[in-house]
Amino acid sequence: MIDCSSAAKRNDNSNTEEGYSCVVEISENTTLRTEDGQELSVDELEEWELSKLNSPKMVRVVLSEEKNINKNMSSREGLKASEIIILN
């Protein structure tokens, strides 16, 4: 699960502070890497998940299919990632 508030509120003209999360699935075909290009394994990603509690990081998720993400929960479920990039 990731924070996707900026995508959910992209076409919304209100200035609400409300946050939105997306459920993103990863598979054996999902590329995991750092912004510098270092490839990561799923185990390394799980270690990073635990370590981010002390130093939060941003990620960029590239979806395998284009989808209109909005405030509706159904638009934020069942998303499949083709690539996850951990930003520096």
DSSP states along 16-30 = -----EE-EE--TT-
Where the chain has pLDDT below 50, the residues are none
Q: Each residue of 67-76: pLDDT tens digit?
A: 999 999 999 9
3-state secondary structure of 74: helix
Whole-angstrom Cα Rg for the chain: 14
pLDDT value of position 13: 74
pTM of the model: 0.77
pLDDT at 52: 63
* pLDDT at residue 11, rounded to an integer: 78
